[in-house]
Amino acid sequence: MKQNFKLIVSYDGTRFFGWEHQPTTDMTIQGKLESVLTRMTGLPEDKPVTVIGAGRTDAGVHARAMTCNVLLDTDMTPDEIQAYMNQYLPEDISVNEVKLAADRFHSRFKATGKTYRYSLWYGATKPVFDRKYVAVLDKAPNLELMREAAELMTGTHDYKCFCGNPKMKKSTVRTVDSINIETKGNYIRIYFHGNGFLQNMVRIMTGTLLAVGNGEIKPSDIPAIIESKNRQNAGPTAPPHGLCLMKVDY
């Protein structure tokens, strides 16, 4: 009998083409998880296990705690499933937790919020050991202007201007509860929390905040940018490697 399992997964997205399974490559997070679980349960490759993720991170984006769920017909315990997966998954993917879940649990539909972190670096030196996880800035941005703009980005809005998919047909209305900018040494970290995010949304919001910090956009321009619903009015899309999914709320 199939049972629903909830998984918490961490991954370094550097060499992967994002979360979502793709027919042309096996280098996706979902694809790697499904491949190992299909082998574990003895299913044929043309009828693989389907892993459902709480979101779809882009190519090069990382995750500390991606939640996913999967229906499995197995006698193995959650601990045995975790041990098997970590034995056969590549070293840049880790299954941190496996638990039995309610039959109705769905990692994407039941999610109530997500926290993303975007990491930046500015200084005379180089972040040699963190270079895959931070975006390096050419100059120091004005953090006070960025915080002022961040306040104006929060709330419930139609965030179409921060969506990287011009053909988006579903609603682009989202609630962003908070955007916090923290500093420590050479690091600038921006934390975004909301009920959901559009494709490239956090990266575009980060690029827009940096444009404000560099004097290219005024904080007072943010409401008009959001109201325009025009991607061209927002800032550039920040590089993927600075972004990390930190937590999914239920």
pLDDT at 61: 97
**Catalytic pick from 26, 46, 58, 158?**
58
- On whether both 122 and 28 belong to a single domain, the answer is no
Closest residue by Cα to residue 201 from 246, 167, 248, 234 = 234
CATH number at residue 178: 3.30.70.660
Q: Which residue's structure tokens are 């941005």?
A: 141
- Told to judge if 58 belongs to the known catalytic residues of this protein, a careful annotator would answer yes
pLDDT at 169: 82
pLDDT at 26: 87
- On whether both 123 and 198 belong to a single domain, the answer is yes
For 160-228, the DSSP string reads GGG-S-TT--S--EEEEEEEEEEEETTEEEEEEEES---TTHHHHHHHHHHHHHTTSS-GGGHHHHHHH
What is d(CA 64, CA 246) in angstroms, rounded to the nearest whole number?
A: 5
- On whether both 238 and 134 belong to a single domain, the answer is yes
Q: Mean pLDDT, 10 residues at a time, over the chain (250 residues)? A: 96 96 90 95 84 95 98 96 98 98 96 98 94 95 98 97 89 96 96 96 98 97 97 97 97
- On whether both 95 and 181 belong to a single domain, the answer is no
pLDDT at 204: 98
CATH number at residue 58: 3.30.70.580
- On whether both 62 and 120 belong to a single domain, the answer is no
Single out the residue in 73, 100, 127 at which a domain terminates: 100
- On whether both 69 and 122 belong to a single domain, the answer is no
What is d(CA 210, CA 194) in angstroms, rounded to the nearest whole number?
A: 20
Single out the residue in 70, 100, 130 at which a domain terminates: 100
- On whether both 132 and 92 belong to a single domain, the answer is no
Range of the domain at 137: 113-249
106, part of any domain = no
pLDDT at 69: 98
pLDDT at 160: 96
- On whether both 231 and 182 belong to a single domain, the answer is yes
pLDDT at 238: 98
- On whether both 133 and 234 belong to a single domain, the answer is yes
Tally of domains in the chain: 2
